[in-house]
Structure 1
Amino acid sequence: MRNILKQYFGFDKFRPKQEEIINSVVAGNNTLGILPTGSGKSICFQVPGLKYPGLTLVISPLISLMRDQVEALNNQGIPAAYLNSTLKKREIDSLMANLEAGHYQFLYVAPERFNNGEFTNLIKRLDVPLIAFDEAHCISKWGHDFRPSYQSIIPILKSLLPDAVTVGLTATATLEVQENIQELLDIGMENVFTTSVARENLHLNVNTTYQREQFILSYIQGKPGLSGIIYAATRAEVEKISLFLTDNGVDNVIYHGGLGKEERNRNQQQFVTGDTNIAVATNAFGMGIDKPDIRFIIHHNLPGDIESYYQEIGRAGRDGQVSECILLSSPRDINLHQFFIDRSSSSEQYKDHMRAKLDRMIQYNRTSKCLSSFITKYFDPDEYVEECLVCSNCKNSERSYDMTGEAKTIVELTRNCELPLTKEQTIQVLRGEMTENVTSHSLEQVESFGRMDSYLTSEINHLLEEMVLRGYLHLEEEHLYTVSKSEMILDGDLTLKTVPFRKHFNEKVDISTASSPNELLFRKLAETRTLVADKYNLTEEDIFTDATLREFAKKMPASKQDMVNIQGVGNYKLKHYCPHFLETISAHQESVFVTE
């Protein structure tokens, strides 16, 4: 394998996990590789494709991606071709004849090509030992770029080529997407190979400025000669930003679906060759672009999910040099995403899934914790992470609250407990709550029980997340564990600071002192909101505002039908959040009735 790597691609050694994936494929195993953008995923099917006799069939989602990869293979003396809608009939006829004659080692096709009977009949007659799904997340209905045609061809391929080995490759697969791909492509867990999505050379930044165009202009003017992409959500915004930059003397090209094919290709080529350093584009731009020296990527708008954002920023710094990834946004971005989700013709289940993804993107935009760790944990909740020290949050000068004392208490509890605790149990023990979660394991007897009884649930949750995302605790399979770095806290070797987060400092809040039944219920509802916000990793305001909770307390709705008429309750919140509040209201009414 190393000889093929050196002979055709000029590399002396494989990158992490490449060799393991290749060995699995060559051994005849259906295989899944999840590698960061820019880490050489195509090598993982090209090397075994060169070892196998016959044709490797590559299922690819984009015409530009096919063209670029085929051109690169041909330049290396490897016979490859693509078959898509850009070819004329005589070109297709010639290509099919060459396929029949065995002239190609690689054929790139879009999934829609399998609707053509002439093509499928030809494929059935050919020697095709290997099928590669490039951008394999497109297979999964839970992937951020799901394509039904990708999924629909799987049974066709199994029927046409029952003995072929299948390899899927992607950079953006959550555990849910990974499991879905495994099921669809018959891939065992032992043949799944992943590396961390973290890329140390990408410096992440969230900027809350309202003057987004001016920020972009000033940033580019401060980085003369550097190559970068500015992503915008709509064609109109692309045109607007491009015109603003041009008017201020910044040369740039644009790219979006409204341009003609020739203009898109010309603009892309200008950017790739370095004739123009700046591209302003929608998210249609970038997949498959082989430009290693993109030094910055700025998002003018909030993307709809973290997978899309990660894939887009992954186009920066492929040469391994430091590159900046800056996220700008406005409140209107969230409303626009919600509007498109609501108006979608997709199933309610899928809409709910997209709303959950949007919620996580909003959390990324608002979190005060390490941005790199946040993304890593999103893709693999069980991966151990440490703060990157270079993102805008790690460098935030507002980290002024000394949390060293609280951190020591948390580490002592986690280390000294005989059984690993979940975050929920940890919070309940520290707050001194006599819940079944606590008493069933006799956790009320531990020394740390009630030691942080003046803290809100959300406040302890903030501390736990801070410690996990900075590497002082490890969260795996929903349980907390100490690590070697935890000892630094116990030894007093460091001071740990976070952004100010406390709402109450000295007294424990006793809701029984409420002055009226409505006020008492409001406080109970506020506690419920805290728990729900922790469950969904959202801010409390994202669940319901105080005004909405006061309406709940005043009107005491008994059903979802009652709740939907209250300001601030939409379909998504009605389904996911309201049951928790209905339960609180019902329990409150029962307690009042018993008292009376």
Structure 2
Amino acid sequence: MSPHSVLEHVFGYRSFRGEQETIVSHVAGGGDALVLMPTGGGKSLCYQIPALLRDGCGVVVSPLIALMQDQVDALKELGVAAAYLNSSLNQEEARDVENAFINGQLKMLYVAPERLVTPRFMALLKRAHIGLFAIDEAHCVSQWGHDFRPEYLALSLLADEFPGIPRIALTATADHATRTEMIGRLRLEDAQKFVSSFDRPNLRYAMVEKKNARDQLLTFIRREHEGDSGIVYCLSRKKVEDTAAWLKAKEINALPYHAGLDVSVRTKNQQQFIRQEGVVMVATIAFGMGIDKPDVRFVAHLDLPKSIENYYQETGRAGRDGLPANTWLAYGLQDLILLNSMIDNSGSPDMQKLVERRKLDAMLGLVEATACRRQTLLGYFGEASQPCGNCDNCINPPKLVEMTEAARKALSCIFRTGNRFGVGHLVDILQGKATPKVKEHFHDRITTFGIGKEVDESSWRAVFRQLLARGAVRLNESGHGGLELTDAARPLLKGETSLFLRERTEKFNYKGEKGSDFVASSDQALWQALRRRRKELADEQNVPAYIIFGDATLKEMVRLRPGDHYEMSRVSGIGDRKLEKYGNDFLKVIEENH
């Protein structure tokens, strides 16, 4: 079979996207590859199709049990002989999978990295006929990355032990340093590199200053995403539980997820999120990397992420089906202080702390940007782009107010107080508030006391955030949020450069209310009927609804209204096996709602 034939008849797609076809042909022909492609860009097809084209079984290294199970369920639905080996299997089940693998009865085997590098499994590999090795989430090999997994370091042995078998490493996020590290540690120096655009045009980016973050989040969900599946990220476990309980009290179907919850509760909540529609998961970053749910319509952050890589990967869990999705982030100066404190107290080597601080500075630069969010985001990954027209700054361009004089006053106040104090104390001084702390340090007697009474507290905090974002000040080593000047403050103090802030507005960042995908009531009725039938079939087979068909496929059914098996076969996402298995079911629904 040709790559196109497998794409159409097994997976149900008419054409490849981007560099998929080139990658598939290269790996199917025996070449090694490093693939950087955004979440939802179709990475899995880049190794699944070559595995089906080559003799032997494709062995996929995957770091998370949930992701393995999801991928295997989806492949089985397509008629592919696939299995996984992980700790969720008992001894007998694992032995059955191993026997099927050795006897050539599998085309795809998913395995965790820690299992793959054991002597026992290496011996098993040498008895089997292997078509290729795929290393998914390859950024986990980076020791300074955000998802480091020590067992990934041992995967370099595949190059020595199986020199004739192609290897493909894939990830959705990697800056230049991480790419270099992946190439070296996975022995992929001679591999062909495929770097796709990091752009996810279906995602809308929006960032707001925290006022009352929970209320802001509730407004966002109710206005834009009533009844949708979404993820809300929080920095601490306590905040996860409190936010989930608060949303539930507001009649949002919210569940908590963090590493401190009992395993059974975590598993139950995760399954509910995957299998039900309209569930909002409130989670720490422990949640998400293994989730292949394509219909997550929004990702919200109630705290500042640690880096642009974290932010990009977490927001990438929205809109994997290619349909429009929103990302929303609320941030404040306290987030920055907390994250810096976490870096200081992490016990990491000084060089790693320096790397993490630089990453946090870049994240602050993104949230404080007054230009296109997407340009700033893609620029971080070394990609040039035009203004996107689909972020808050493009949709509602911020009005800029010059605050250069206020910035000079702020810098002067930091200097006159000895580069030691935090923003709250500095604002009190500038506004002329003789608090007990101000009096205790005699700061009511310095020249900057009361020189900023005309600027409100929120604007002063915005000035300090901008000064941090442009590197004119930094957090000192006290670990208590104290600020100190840097050399980059000189041009501002000398009047050689200016500082502008966005004008604060209560205007919401989105254009218009959420509207239905379908104008005609008959289309809306068919859409709901197709979803009901999908859910019934999914419940019968105990799989998530999107394993049957994704939302994008159902929406195309509404648009095309196929009347027979041939017309149904032209719908994107319907291959031969699914047409045979579900064609009549969905044709009947379409006929009944004609």
Cα shift at 1:90? 2.3
Amino acid corresponding to residue 56 of structure 2 in structure 1: G
Cα shift at 1:542? 5.7
Task: Provide closer, same or farther for how the CA distance between residues 539 and 283 of structure 1 changes in structure 2, counting only shifts above 3 A.
Answer: same
SS of the residue 2:209 aligns to: coil
Cα shift at 1:306? 0.9
**Paired residues of 2:59 and 2:109 also in contact (CA < 8 A):** yes
SS of the residue 1:393 aligns to: helix
1:453-482: CA deviation from partner (whole Å, max 9, x where unpaired): xxxxxxxxxxxxxxxxxxxxxxxxxxxxxx
**Selected match of 2:61 from 13, 37, 59:** 59
2:102 is the alignment partner of 1:100: yes
**Selected match of 2:142 from 140, 143, 165:** 140
Task: Provide closer, same or farther for how the CA distance between residues 315 and 240 of structure 1 changes in structure 2, counting only shifts above 3 A.
Answer: same
1:378-413: CA deviation from partner (whole Å, max 9, x where unpaired): 112xx33111123122234543xxxxxxxxxxxxxx
**Selected match of 2:93 from 70, 91, 94:** 91
Deviates more, 1:105-114 or 1:84-93: 84-93
2:76 is the alignment partner of 1:82: no
Task: Provide closer, same or farther for how the CA distance between residues 544 and 308 of structure 1 changes in structure 2, counting only shifts above 3 A.
Answer: closer
Task: Provide closer, same or farther for how the CA distance between residues 580 and 368 of structure 1 changes in structure 2, counting only shifts above 3 A.
Answer: closer
TM, length-normalised to structure 2: 0.67
1:402-461: CA deviation from partner (whole Å, max 9, x where unpaired): xxxxxxxxxxxxxxxxxxxxxxxxxxxxxxxxxxxxxxxxxxxxxxxxxxxxxxxxxxxx
**Distance in 2 separating the partners of 1:545 and 1:320:** 40
Amino acid corresponding to residue 50 of structure 2 in structure 1: P
SS of the residue 2:109 aligns to: strand
Alignment correspondent of 1:388: 388
**Distance in 2 separating the partners of 1:398 and 1:299:** 21
**Distance in 2 separating the partners of 1:292 and 1:94:** 31
Alignment correspondent of 1:68: 70
Alignment correspondent of 1:176: 177
Amino acid corresponding to residue 197 of structure 1 in structure 2: F
**Distance in 2 separating the partners of 1:52 and 1:13:** 20
**Paired residues of 1:123 and 1:160 also in contact (CA < 8 A):** no
Amino acid corresponding to residue 236 of structure 1 in structure 2: K
SS of the residue 1:205 aligns to: strand
1:337-380: CA deviation from partner (whole Å, max 9, x where unpaired): 22332233432222211111111111112121211111111112
Task: Provide closer, same or farther for how the CA distance between residues 50 and 544 of structure 1 changes in structure 2, counting only shifts above 3 A.
Answer: closer
**Paired residues of 1:251 and 1:278 also in contact (CA < 8 A):** yes
Task: Provide closer, same or farther for how the CA distance between residues 397 and 127 of structure 1 changes in structure 2, counting only shifts above 3 A.
Answer: closer
Amino acid corresponding to residue 96 of structure 1 in structure 2: E
Cα shift at 1:60? 0.8
1:2-28: CA deviation from partner (whole Å, max 9, x where unpaired): 001112111111111111111221232
User: Equivalent residues in 2 for 1:530-545 (5 A)?
Assistant: 539-541=466-468
Task: Provide closer, same or farther for how the CA distance between residues 353 and 541 of structure 1 changes in structure 2, counting only shifts above 3 A.
Answer: closer
Amino acid corresponding to residue 342 of structure 1 in structure 2: D
1:189-245: CA deviation from partner (whole Å, max 9, x where unpaired): 882112211122211101103201111122222232222211111221111001111
> Structure 2: where are the runs of 5+ without partners?
409-414, 420-464, 491-594
Cα shift at 1:580? 9.1
Amino acid corresponding to residue 387 of structure 2 in structure 1: E
**Selected match of 2:319 from 313, 317, 320:** 317
SS of the residue 2:49 aligns to: helix
**Paired residues of 2:472 and 2:486 also in contact (CA < 8 A):** no
**Paired residues of 1:137 and 1:173 also in contact (CA < 8 A):** yes
Task: Provide closer, same or farther for how the CA distance between residues 94 and 320 of structure 1 changes in structure 2, counting only shifts above 3 A.
Answer: closer
Alignment correspondent of 2:4: 2
User: Equivalent residues in 2 for 1:477-516 (5 A)?
Assistant: 499-501=400-402, 503=404
User: Equivalent residues in 2 for 1:195-234 (5 A)?
Assistant: 195-222=196-223, 223-234=225-236
Alignment correspondent of 1:270: 272
Task: Provide closer, same or farther for how the CA distance between residues 10 and 581 of structure 1 changes in structure 2, counting only shifts above 3 A.
Answer: closer
Task: Provide closer, same or farther for how the CA distance between residues 189 and 313 of structure 1 changes in structure 2, counting only shifts above 3 A.
Answer: farther
User: Equivalent residues in 2 for 1:106-125 (5 A)?
Assistant: 106-125=108-127
Amino acid corresponding to residue 391 of structure 1 in structure 2: C
Alignment correspondent of 2:165: 164
**Distance in 1 separating the partners of 2:136 and 2:191:** 20
Alignment correspondent of 2:261: 259
Equivalences, count: 430
**Paired residues of 1:544 and 1:568 also in contact (CA < 8 A):** no
2:494 is the alignment partner of 1:568: no
SS of the residue 2:76 aligns to: helix
Amino acid corresponding to residue 58 of structure 1 in structure 2: V
Task: Provide closer, same or farther for how the CA distance between residues 163 and 97 of structure 1 changes in structure 2, counting only shifts above 3 A.
Answer: same
1:144-199: CA deviation from partner (whole Å, max 9, x where unpaired): 21222112221x22232122111111110112222222233344588211221112
Cα shift at 1:250? 2.0
**Distance in 1 separating the partners of 2:488 and 2:195:** 37
Amino acid corresponding to residue 392 of structure 1 in structure 2: D
Amino acid corresponding to residue 388 of structure 1 in structure 2: C
Amino acid corresponding to residue 123 of structure 2 in structure 1: N
Bigger relative contact order (CA 8 A; separation at least 6): 2
SS of the residue 2:392 aligns to: coil
Cα shift at 1:112? 0.8
Task: Provide closer, same or farther for how the CA distance between residues 187 and 334 of structure 1 changes in structure 2, counting only shifts above 3 A.
Answer: same
Q: Kindly, what percent of the aligned residue pairs are identical? A: 37
Cα shift at 1:311? 1.1
**Distance in 1 separating the partners of 2:364 and 2:488:** 22
**Distance in 1 separating the partners of 2:244 and 2:403:** 44
SS of the residue 1:286 aligns to: coil
**Distance in 2 separating the partners of 1:67 and 1:12:** 26
Cα shift at 1:119? 1.4
Task: Provide closer, same or farther for how the CA distance between residues 539 and 502 of structure 1 changes in structure 2, counting only shifts above 3 A.
Answer: closer
Task: Provide closer, same or farther for how the CA distance between residues 501 and 139 of structure 1 changes in structure 2, counting only shifts above 3 A.
Answer: farther
Task: Provide closer, same or farther for how the CA distance between residues 580 and 226 of structure 1 changes in structure 2, counting only shifts above 3 A.
Answer: closer
Amino acid corresponding to residue 25 of structure 1 in structure 2: V
**Paired residues of 1:9 and 1:76 also in contact (CA < 8 A):** yes
Amino acid corresponding to residue 271 of structure 1 in structure 2: F
Alignment correspondent of 1:404: none
**Paired residues of 2:472 and 2:488 also in contact (CA < 8 A):** no
SS of the residue 1:394 aligns to: helix
**Paired residues of 2:471 and 2:486 also in contact (CA < 8 A):** no
2:360 is the alignment partner of 1:358: yes
Alignment correspondent of 1:417: none
TM, length-normalised to structure 1: 0.67
Cα shift at 1:138? 1.0
Alignment correspondent of 1:281: 283
**Distance in 2 separating the partners of 1:190 and 1:128:** 19
Cα shift at 1:85? 1.9
Task: Provide closer, same or farther for how the CA distance between residues 173 and 166 of structure 1 changes in structure 2, counting only shifts above 3 A.
Answer: same
Deviates more, 1:288-297 or 1:310-319: 288-297
SS of the residue 2:394 aligns to: coil
Task: Provide closer, same or farther for how the CA distance between residues 247 and 300 of structure 1 changes in structure 2, counting only shifts above 3 A.
Answer: same
Cα shift at 1:569? 5.1
Task: Provide closer, same or farther for how the CA distance between residues 204 and 578 of structure 1 changes in structure 2, counting only shifts above 3 A.
Answer: closer
**Distance in 2 separating the partners of 1:500 and 1:157:** 57
Cα shift at 1:579? 9.2
**Distance in 1 separating the partners of 2:350 and 2:487:** 18
SS of the residue 2:130 aligns to: coil
SS of the residue 2:60 aligns to: strand
Amino acid corresponding to residue 192 of structure 2 in structure 1: N
**Distance in 1 separating the partners of 2:310 and 2:259:** 17
**Paired residues of 2:228 and 2:278 also in contact (CA < 8 A):** no
SS of the residue 2:344 aligns to: helix
CA RMSD in angstroms, aligned pairs only:
3.0
SS of the residue 1:198 aligns to: coil
SS of the residue 1:294 aligns to: coil
2:246 is the alignment partner of 1:338: no
Cα shift at 1:33? 1.2
Alignment correspondent of 2:130: 128
SS of the residue 1:214 aligns to: helix
Amino acid corresponding to residue 158 of structure 2 in structure 1: L
SS of the residue 2:199 aligns to: coil
Cα shift at 1:570? 6.2
SS of the residue 1:315 aligns to: coil
